[in-house]
Amino acid sequence: MNFFAEQDHARRNSKWLILLFVIAVIILIGLSNILIAACLWMFDSTSELNLPDNRSFFSADILVFVSLVMTSVIICAIAFKWFQLKDGGRRIAESLGGQRIPPNSQHPEQQQILNVVEEMALASGMPVPSVYLLKDEIGINAFAAGHTPADAVIGITQGALEQLNREQLQGVVAHEFSHILNGDMRLNVRLIALLSGIVFIANLGEFILHTQRYSHRSSSRSNNNDARVAAAGFGLLALGWIGLFFANMIKAAISRQREYLADASAVQFTRNPNGIADALKIIGGYDAGSGLRTPLSQETSHMFIGDARRLGSFFATHPAIKSRIKRILPRWDGALIKRDIKKVAKPIYSKTSQQQAKKQRQEQLKKTVFVAAAAEAAINALDNKSDKAEFTLSENTVTVSGELAHLPDGLLSLAHDPCGVISVVYALLLSNYEAQRAKQLDDIKDNLSKSSRIEETLQAWNWINSVDKSYRLPLLELSFPALKCMSAKQYQRFMDNLRSLIKADQQVDMYEWCLYHLVKHYLSHQFEKVTHSKPVYSSIPALSEPFSVVLSSLAYFGHDNDTETQRAFGIGANSIGLYTITLLPLEQCQVEHFGPAVKKLANAYPQIKQRILRALVACVCLDKQLTVLENEMIRCIAAVMDCPGPQISLGVRRP
């Protein structure tokens, strides 16, 4: 699956969305003018108004005025909705009634979905997103929401946790990860914002009718204006219904094919068609189906894996369940899996059961990373048949995610604890020199007892120091859900401490830059005002300068002698078609040059980003060995560019 091509396709769909939206608005403005003319005619039917004889209910002044008012109302409604959604996936999940599942949850069902999300994140080359549970929803459904992978969340209903087994949950979560990687997630958020402007007209009509009804009941007499106001309210309500018609039609036109694509991607991720197919069979045979009770299910219906609202086939945002299953399993016999609604709440788990669940979770996490490694290998094997073969140059694969199973259980538990995870990140920055390490620890400021924080950080450092450096980045990626549980004040103190730890030796090396910017990129959207990267550069030559800086940096940091450095740079430059650029001097490839260059590359179009990442991978793959720092730099570059990290199948050379 070429996710970059699909992101470009999603971007083109955004243009179609805007075009369809403009057409719908023009039609609504025309109908609004007809409505206003009808209202003026009704007002003119009484003697209370003395309009001139040469009046025209369709005059240019009225037409312009009504058009401006309608356009302003729609724009204001869109702006308000966009402001509500500016916090990304977290805000959408909470508005639907979702509650964040703690990363260290002891509930077996919640542990299972957390583990499944972790394995899919590792397999797809992106950090682990937070998981939100819609605990009051008995329908089987799930969604992915956010503007970028950095603020993405996965949401799932209680019904899905109760009715689906691990294999089926893998299929559902893989389906949602496809929406993240294909660019559908951002398109879905734009759909919510744009269509809210159209639907707002219906809400305005309902408000007028409600106000008029209340005014009529509270008044001892009525007058002719009541009928006119009611007529205006009904007119706006009718316009809103027409707007809702267009909104449903636009959602259906854009989202149906994306659902087929996400189903196919789920099969590719898991290498198991039965997972997603059986989940769809259960939805089809389940009494509650995939329906949701939340009032916002109407405007967010296109985001879910199944139909959140039961609409006619013409307006359905998803293809028919049977049609989707048939595409996954062409020889399917048509039988659905029947399930009953679990109406009785499950009993509280005993202390013994909780202890067993904790042990099972630690064992399951180890299994998780092996499944992720298998998924990576399967995807790479499939990619060998496509145009991305340079990502898998060797079968001697050492996947860091697979090696995570060898991390100490205490370190993994600490990485999932919302309080202890801070110590893990601090430990990743501690120096190997005792005097320098003591100075770093002394600079840490924390609300927790300082001695307790230092002790916990040193324990984490000892665990990390006992294993290979290649575990650092995957450990950090597993830590993000717990880090997102911080408050704004804790986040500010945490980032201040990170800067103090990094600057303790009065210099910033490439590893420290990568770690800091990964943390900032995946956490800042929740606590700061963030400006997302936008596609600006559509050609490679326009990015030759920042690309030269990044490529030169990779060539220097990944190769030992001048000849190999020059060859690596040349291979990367030639593979992207920049034959005239030259290797920059080492002093122009330091962190202060590297950072701004990467951020500029983030403003390229998706297909350009793909070519850039391929060229960078070609550079580091020259010697068919991957250093830990090269891997960290590539993953950090991909993260800042809002791209999945490329899975490079090479032997890892320890520095």
CATH number of residue 565's parent domain: 1.10.3680
CATH of the domain at 145: 3.30.2010.10
Does position 360 have pLDDT exceeding 50, yes or no?
Answer: no
Is the pLDDT at 344 greater than 50? The verdict is no
pLDDT tens column, 54-105: 455 556 777 777 778 778 888 888 888 888 888 788 889 998 999 999 998 8
What is the rounded CA–CA span in Å between residue 58 and residue 40? 10
Q: Which of 329, 235, 334, 226 is nearest to 284 (CA)?
A: 334
Assess whether 34 and 159 both reside in one domain. no
Same domain, 170 and 66: no
The pLDDT score that the predictor gives to residue 654 is 47
One-letter amino acid of 520: K
Residue 249 sits in the same domain as residue 105: no
| Pure H helices in 103-223 | 108-124, 158-163, 166-181, 184-218
One domain, residues 31 and 169: no
Q: Give ∠ CA 264-145-492 in degrees, rounded to 5.
A: 135
Residue 408: inside a domain: no
Burial class (CB in 10 A: 0-12, 13-18, 19+), 382: middle
Residue 461 has pLDDT above 80, yes or no: yes
Pairing of strands 153-157, 142-145: antiparallel
Q: Is the pLDDT of residue 242 over 80?
A: no
571 shares its domain with 646: yes
Distances (CA, A) of 254 to 243, 266, 315: 17, 19, 11
Instruction: Say how many C-beta atoms besides its own lie within 10 A of residue 98's C-beta.
Output: 27
- In sequence order, the β-bridge partners of residue 145 are 153
CA pair distance 379, 1, nearest whole angstrom? 9
Confirm if 646 and 124 have CB atoms less than 8 A apart.
no
Query: HSE (CB half, 13 Å, CA atoms) of 57?
Result: 14
CA distances from 153 to 94, 422, 445, 484 (A): 11, 21, 30, 11
Phi, psi of 272 (to 5 degrees): -145, 100
The span from the CA of 123 to the CA of 173, in Å, is 12
612: confidence class by pLDDT, cuts 50, 70, 90: very high
Asked if residue 456 belongs to a domain, the reply is no
Confidence (pLDDT) at 210: 60
In a domain, 333, yes or no: no
Strand partners, 652: 626
Q: Is residue 515 part of a domain?
A: no
User: Degrees (nearest 5) of the Cα angle 199, 200, 206?
Assistant: 100
Here the tokens at position 215 are 């005014």
Q: Are residues 619 and 552 in the same domain?
A: yes
Strands 625-627 and 651-653: parallel
Provide CB contacts within 8 A for 186, sequence distance 6+. 10, 146, 147, 148
Return the half-sphere exposure (C-beta side, CA atoms, 13 A cut-off) of residue 303: 31
Of the candidates 84, 79, 86, the one whose C-alpha atom is nearest the C-alpha of residue 151 is: 86
Q: Is residue 49 part of a domain?
A: yes
Q: Percent of the chain scored above 70 by pLDDT?
A: 75
Please state, in angstroms and rounded to a whole number, the distance separating the CA atoms of residues 372 and 477: 14
- What's the confidence (pLDDT) of residue 347? 37
| The 153-157 sheet, strands edge to edge | 99-100, 130-134, 153-157, 142-145
Q: What angle do CA 353, 356, 357 make, to 5 degrees?
A: 85
Query: Which pLDDT tens digit goes with each residue over 311-341?
Result: 555 567 788 889 899 989 988 998 999 988 7
End-to-end CA distance of the chain: 33
Domain match, 54 and 121 both = no
Cα–Cα distance, 157 to 140 (Å, whole number): 6
Indicate whether 96 and 83 sit together in one domain.
no
Q: Which residues are catalytic?
A: 176
Residue with more model confidence, 58 or 526:
526
Q: Is residue 470 part of a domain?
A: no
Are the C-beta atoms of 581 and 572 separated by less than 8 Å?
no
Distance of CA 573 to the CA centre of its chain: 31
159 vs 59: which has the higher pLDDT: 159
Statement to judge: residues 210 and 107 lie in one domain: no
* Residues 550 and 641 reside in one and the same domain: yes
User: What is d(CA 155, CA 146) in angstroms, rounded to the nearest whole number?
Assistant: 11
* 637-651 pLDDT, tens digit each: 988 888 877 767 555
- Quote the domain boundaries for residue 118: 91-177+263-328
* Element (DSSP H or E) covering residue 285: helix 273-285
Phi, psi for 194 (deg, rounded to 5):
-65, -45
Nearest to 469 by CA among 426, 499, 428: 428
* CB-based burial label for 256 (10 Å; 0-12, 13-18, 19+): middle
Of 500, 491, 524, 522, which is closest to residue 430 (Cα–Cα)?
500
Cβ atoms 531, 522 nearer than 8 A: no
For 128, which DSSP code? P
Residue 315 belongs to a domain: yes
* Confidence at residue 212, expressed as pLDDT on a 0 to 100 scale: 57
Phi, psi of 156 (to 5 degrees): -150, 145
Evaluated on CA atoms 43, 49, 50, 51, the torsion sign reads negative
pLDDT of residue 258: 79
Rounded alpha-carbon distances, angstroms, from residue 652 to 377, 463, 546:
15, 21, 27
**How many CA atoms are closer than 13 Å to the CA of 476, on its beta-carbon side?**
27
Taking 3-state DSSP, the helix, strand and coil percentages for the chain, each rounded to the nearest 5, stand at 65, 5, 30
Residues 33 and 66 in one domain: yes
Q: Quickly state the pLDDT bin for 191 (edges 50, 70, 90).
A: confident
Q: How many domains does the chain have?
A: 3
Residue that terminates a domain, selected from 237, 255, 273: 255
**Cβ neighbours of residue 47 under 8 Å, at least 6 residues apart?**
none
Q: Which of 255, 289, 312 delimits the end of a domain? A: 255
Torsion sign over Cα 181, 536, 9, 151: positive
Give the helix/strand (H/E) hosting 261. helix 224-270
| Mean pLDDT comparison of 189-203, 223-237, 622-636, highest-scoring range | 622-636
Q: Is the pLDDT of residue 25 over 70?
A: yes
- pLDDT of residue 371 exceeding 60, the answer is no
Q: Which of 530, 525, 639, 612 is nearest to 127 (CA)?
A: 639
Question: Is residue 391 in some structural domain?
Answer: no
Domain termination residue (choose one: 230, 255, 280): 255
pLDDT of 400 = 37
Model confidence at 175, pLDDT cuts 50, 70, 90, reads very high
Residues 97 and 157 in one domain: yes
